[in-house]
A and B are shown apart, each in its own frame.
Chain A
Amino acid sequence: MKERLQIIIKDQSLILFPQKALFWEEQKILVVSDVHFGKAGHFRKHGIAVPDTVNANNIQRLDHLIKHLSPQKILFLGDLFHSEMNAEVEQFKEWRKSHANIEMILTIGNHDILTRFQYEKMGLQCVNQYEMKPFVFMHDEYDSTSSEYYPIAGHIHPAVKLSTKGRQRMYIPCFYFGKTHCMLPAFGSFTGNYRIQPAQNDLVYGVVEERVIDISPLI
């Protein structure tokens, strides 16, 4: 059984899912970051053999979340697609059609190299950043000086290192809520992680197997 974790940030209720997604309860917005659709296919096209099952797994997890949460909007925080058009992107298009009633918005990331027209055509609203008080969502270029909005971003694929007795070390992908901004873990199941070093008082929620737990005190 997967266990979610509810937290309150800026007086808003955010629910963190072990599927590496965030649900903003008040606004009924599902936020996922760095899916990298078509990554496996992109590799195959260039002569590097990666099996296809990765993509199907991403779609299944999205479907599962949609079924349970009935979001009004889905916000993709960049790197939705890994590269140019391929069969996996076509699969995404089909999937998009099957959820025509949900508004979907993409904040453009460095891997999103299709034209805006192409995104719009497949039913994705395309923006550089998406503001909705008290948050502003984007892929990575946040402006931490603005105090009006709290930035929530993707891009980094954050993970933290935990060390314990017996010289044990673990690397845990995480949701990170720092003083100046928040970073979400990468949703895509075929992506790596980057180790971040949180400061004191930062909040870090680790995705550990089927659960999300507060690991801030362990860092």
Chain B
Amino acid sequence: MSTKGRKVIREWFDSRGWEIFPFQQEVWDAFLKDKNGLLNAPTGSGKTFALWMPNLIKWIDEHPKDYQEKTNNGLKVLWITPLRALAKDIQKALQNSVNELGIQWEIGRRTGDVSQSVKQKQNRRMPEVLITTPESVHILLAQKKYERHFKNLDAVIVDEWHELLGSKRGIQTELGLSRLRGLRPNLSIWGISATIGNLDEALDVLLGPDQEDQPVIIKANIQKNIQAESILPDEMENFPWHGHLGLKLLPKILPIIDESRSTLIFTNTRAQSEIWFQNLLETRPDLAGAIAIHHGSLDRKVRDWVESSLHEGILKAVVCTSSLDLGVDFSPVETVIQIGSPKGVARFMQRAGRSGHQPGSTSKIYFVPTHALELVEAAALKSAINSEEMESREPILKPYDVLVQYLVTLAVSDGFHPDEIFPEIKKTFAYQTLSEKEWNSILQFITQGGKSLSRYNEYSKVDIEGDGLYKVNSRKIARRHRMSIGTIASDAMLRVKYMSGKSLGAVEEWFIAQLNTGDTFWFAGRNLELVKIKDMTVYVKRAKGKSSKVPAYMGGRMSLSSNMTHILRKKMHQAVAGDFDDIELKTLEPLFEIQRDWSILPDEDQFLIEKSFSREGCHVFFFPFEGRYVHEGMSALIAHRLSKMMPITFSIAMNDYGFELLSDQDIPIEKALVEDLFSPDHLVEDIMASINSAELAKRRFREICQIAGLVFQGFPGQVKSNKHLQMSSSLFFDVFMEYEPDHLLIQQAFDEVMSIQLDEIRLRKALKKISEQEVVFNLTERFTPYAFPIMVDRLREKLSSEKLIDRIQKMQSQLEKHVK
């Protein structure tokens, strides 16, 4: 079927010398048949035009005579992207196309870094296309008379949907879409996703479970060649058994940087990126000016400069974090270096794909291990790339906190009627199972604070008006809510600025609290001296000489994906069986030998437990090789079961290979093993009890508190005007646990630990596997290569069945013995 619109667009493609890819054509056809769907295509494949052009074709077909004349058409297309850095590029591409086609459409951007005056202009007159983030959509929904903005809306495109799926930002997107569909029932909705293990589910989550008209998934099927290579230590003897920085191999990447036009060096944390940048400069001062640093805490302007310099090809290398995982096309980048484990196949491939951006070219990635056993991961990653075993992004179900925030958002704007909103919410994937009862307790929470009115007297947030409209009337509450819309929990941040006013970025308040005036620290790739702290801003000047302090950033450590642990175990067992075909495993052979000498090398049918003693007390190590998350749950469970046998206190450490229980007293593991420590009986009860005693739920509660609006963080550079409303989430947790343990947000915290963090299903599977294995128990004299990296970890959990008073008296009596 040829229409005017198609003709115009085809001619435009021709005039630019572009061909229309089959997958683009397929998307256009489906879109123009009013289908909804999901496009599976990688970055740089032409995915933007696949979903942009049909909007224009439709416009031209609707106004064949005057499509070039009509102005002020209202908001027609909403383009949602997870990363505001991407918004600018998309804006440019779209604006270019309409300009060349002579269509009078304005392409606008509305993200956190767009100025207030631009936003106000948009409020008066919306552009035809708005590129925005999930958060900004909700901020729009928090405006008075927001409905007027969407009267003409035809389509919503959700870019990089795989990035949002599986996070609370994804839920936020689902809720935003549910409202827009309520306003515009015939809205076209399309997602764009990279390859993940559960594309079908990704589509269901985007559109909701009940779709009358069968939506479609269209695959671009663009094969990308990835070449992965590990950087190997010359001598295994001197290579560390533990660590996460990887600086030991720094000299080996220098030639790679030299030979490549431009290189991206991915690290896993902001602190690590700062340290690598600093060390690169110290080793190779001649690179000053030619290398740069990029991470999420740097000022937008600093990052913009790095990105555009990369784009122009004037940087030799950039040390970065996941901040450069997505988006913008950096064609000059020829090589990618990954420092330390990327923890998942998809992330590794995504990063590799940042090089060799031109269609048909090969992406080159080097893996730099930070400690010996990570070489096994390198081998695992390489074989995973070949088989393209990609992770799934599991969607989150029914988080109350995001729903609470959304309902208050609606109440802040024009108010809402539950009868209208409840059915909309029920149509989303996340809340399809939300019961009437749960709904009512959420309404209760936002209107009266909790179940019993008497306990929450004087509570004021959302009022119920005479006609049943739920509305926020307090301007203060409305203002505070608008400022805290979002689902990314963060620590209080302070801006870092030069005395001249130039902003460098933001650092966590607690890091700065350890510093005094005159102290130096390393940030944004610069050595800085703290001059003064005023109004939530840290004023600094350039410092001379060396500095040692690098802001460490809090934040959970990532776990290997279950996909990765599966391949990892395969590689481990391959080595145990004597197959050293992989160069990485071959390199590790001496280490495996030591492990075999000092303990055993467990094979597929064996489960290894090691016990040893040191000055610190008794250590017991378990090696399930199931990834950090599963170990988190399993260690708490095992510690809990042991602690039921006797009063005992544990300090718990873990990595992706195993976990350690450490106690000041002997751990009766031998006895416990006889009594079936890994039994599936009473599993749920025991897990619940261990989650509680290991304070896992308490930590999870932090994020929930922020999203549900119990804790207000404020923003960098903003003076906290409401100090009297500051309280830590852990205090909230204690109060609720004491006075209202069935509080819905407390319930959510436990649910999240169970389903997201520990992944109960994975944990059960792992326990089942252990029960089928032979348990090998070894008393070791020294910490083995498997045990050592866990033992030295400072980041620890605790679990105790001893009374505090008994522990202190124990300390007292130890001291007395010592004195005698």
A interface residues (Cβ-Cβ under 8 A, vs B): 40-54, 82-83, 86-87, 111, 162, 164-170, 172, 190-192, 206, 208-211, 213, 215, 217-218
User: When chains A and B are docked, how far (Å) is the Cα of A215 from the Cα of B650?
Assistant: 22
Which residue on B lies nearest to A49, using beta carbons? B449
The interface residues of chain A lying within 8 Å CB-to-CB of B731 are: 190-192
Which residue on A lies nearest to B661, using beta carbons? A166
28 contacts between A and B (CB under 8 A): A40-B735, A44-B457, A46-B725, A47-B459, A47-B460, A47-B474, A48-B709, A48-B710, A49-B450, A49-B461, A82-B724, A83-B724, A86-B458, A162-B811, A164-B807, A166-B616, A166-B662, A166-B665, A168-B649, A168-B807, A169-B798, A170-B808, A172-B804, A172-B808, A190-B735, A192-B731, A209-B803, A217-B815
User: When chains A and B are docked, how far (Å) is the Cα of A169 from the Cα of B807?
Assistant: 10
B386 at the interface (CB under 8 A from A): no
Q: When A44-B456, A165-B616 are in contact, do A206 and B808 touch as well, CB less than 8 Å?
A: yes
The interface residues of chain A lying within 8 Å CB-to-CB of B662 are: 166-167
B732 at the interface (CB under 8 A from A): yes
Q: When A44-B458, A49-B456, A166-B616 are in contact, do A208 and B805 touch as well, CB less than 8 Å?
A: yes
Q: When A47-B461, A49-B456, A209-B805 are in contact, do A165 and B710 touch as well, CB less than 8 Å?
A: no
The interface residues of chain A lying within 8 Å CB-to-CB of B664 are: 164-166, 168
User: When chains A and B are docked, how far (Å) is the Cα of A208 from the Cα of B806?
Assistant: 10
User: When chains A and B are docked, how far (Å) is the Cα of A211 from the Cα of B796?
Assistant: 28
A218 pairs with B450, CB closer than 8 A: no
B617 pairs with A52, CB closer than 8 A: no
* Contact code string B799-817 (vs A, CB < 8 Å = 1, else 0): 0000111011011101100
User: When chains A and B are docked, how far (Å) is the Cα of A218 from the Cα of B811?
Assistant: 7
9 additional contacts, CB 8 Å, given A47-B474, A209-B803? A46-B477, A46-B725, A49-B450, A54-B739, A87-B458, A166-B617, A166-B662, A170-B807, A206-B808
Q: When A45-B458, A111-B724 are in contact, do A162 and B735 touch as well, CB less than 8 Å?
A: no
Q: Across chains A and B, which 6 residue pairs bring their CB atoms closest together, nearest first?
A: A49-B449, A166-B664, A47-B461, A165-B664, A166-B617, A167-B651
Q: When A49-B456, A51-B739, A167-B796 are in contact, do A213 and B709 touch as well, CB less than 8 Å?
A: no
B804 pairs with A44, CB closer than 8 A: no
B739 pairs with A53, CB closer than 8 A: yes
B454 at the interface (CB under 8 A from A): yes
| A111, A168, A208 — most chain B CB neighbours (10 Å) | A168
The interface residues of chain A lying within 8 Å CB-to-CB of B651 are: 166-168
User: When chains A and B are docked, how far (Å) is the Cα of A145 from the Cα of B796?
Assistant: 43
* Contact code string B197-235 (vs A, CB < 8 Å = 1, else 0): 000000000000000000000000000000000000000
Measured CB to CB, the closest approach of chain B to A159, in angstroms, equals 13
User: When chains A and B are docked, how far (Å) is the Cα of A43 from the Cα of B722?
Assistant: 11
User: When chains A and B are docked, how far (Å) is the Cα of A166 from the Cα of B653?
Assistant: 12
User: When chains A and B are docked, how far (Å) is the Cα of A51 from the Cα of B735?
Assistant: 8
The interface residues of chain A lying within 8 Å CB-to-CB of B724 are: 42, 82-83, 111
Measured CB to CB, the closest approach of chain A to B289, in angstroms, equals 43
A166 pairs with B740, CB closer than 8 A: no
The interface residues of chain B lying within 8 Å CB-to-CB of A209 are: 803-805
* Contact code string B530-561 (vs A, CB < 8 Å = 1, else 0): 00000000000000000000000000000000
The interface residues of chain B lying within 8 Å CB-to-CB of A210 are: 805
| B474, B725, B812 — most chain A CB neighbours (10 Å) | B725
Select one of B445, B455, B460 contacting A45, CB under 8 A: B460
| A40, A52, A206, A210 — most chain B CB neighbours (10 Å) | A52
Q: When A46-B476, A166-B616 are in contact, do A53 and B457 touch as well, CB less than 8 Å?
A: no
B796 pairs with A162, CB closer than 8 A: no
The interface residues of chain B lying within 8 Å CB-to-CB of A215 are: 808
A168 pairs with B798, CB closer than 8 A: yes
A51 pairs with B617, CB closer than 8 A: no
B459 pairs with A44, CB closer than 8 A: yes
The interface residues of chain A lying within 8 Å CB-to-CB of B416 are: none
| A42, A49, A86 — most chain B CB neighbours (10 Å) | A49
A48 pairs with B725, CB closer than 8 A: yes
Q: When A44-B459, A87-B458 are in contact, do A50 and B732 touch as well, CB less than 8 Å?
A: yes
A44 pairs with B449, CB closer than 8 A: yes
Within 8 A of A (CB), among B613-671: 616-618, 649-651, 662-665
B736 at the interface (CB under 8 A from A): yes
B476 pairs with A52, CB closer than 8 A: no
Which residue on A lies nearest to B449, using beta carbons? A49
Measured CB to CB, the closest approach of chain B to A104, in angstroms, equals 23
Within 8 A of A (CB), among B457-490: 457-461, 474, 476-477, 480-481
A53 pairs with B455, CB closer than 8 A: yes
B728 at the interface (CB under 8 A from A): yes
Which residue on B lies nearest to A111, using beta carbons? B724
Measured CB to CB, the closest approach of chain A to B440, in angstroms, equals 16
B804 pairs with A49, CB closer than 8 A: no
The interface residues of chain A lying within 8 Å CB-to-CB of B617 are: 165-166
Measured CB to CB, the closest approach of chain B to A121, in angstroms, equals 21
B649 pairs with A213, CB closer than 8 A: no
The interface residues of chain A lying within 8 Å CB-to-CB of B481 are: 47
Measured CB to CB, the closest approach of chain A to B126, in angstroms, equals 30
| A41, A43, A217 — most chain B CB neighbours (10 Å) | A43
The interface residues of chain B lying within 8 Å CB-to-CB of A54 are: 735, 739
The interface residues of chain A lying within 8 Å CB-to-CB of B740 are: 51
Select one of B450, B454, B480, B811 contacting A164, CB under 8 A: B811
The interface residues of chain A lying within 8 Å CB-to-CB of B421 are: none
Measured CB to CB, the closest approach of chain B to A118, in angstroms, equals 17
B727 at the interface (CB under 8 A from A): yes
The interface residues of chain B lying within 8 Å CB-to-CB of A49 are: 445, 449-450, 456, 459, 461, 710
User: When chains A and B are docked, how far (Å) is the Cα of A65 from the Cα of B55?
Assistant: 75
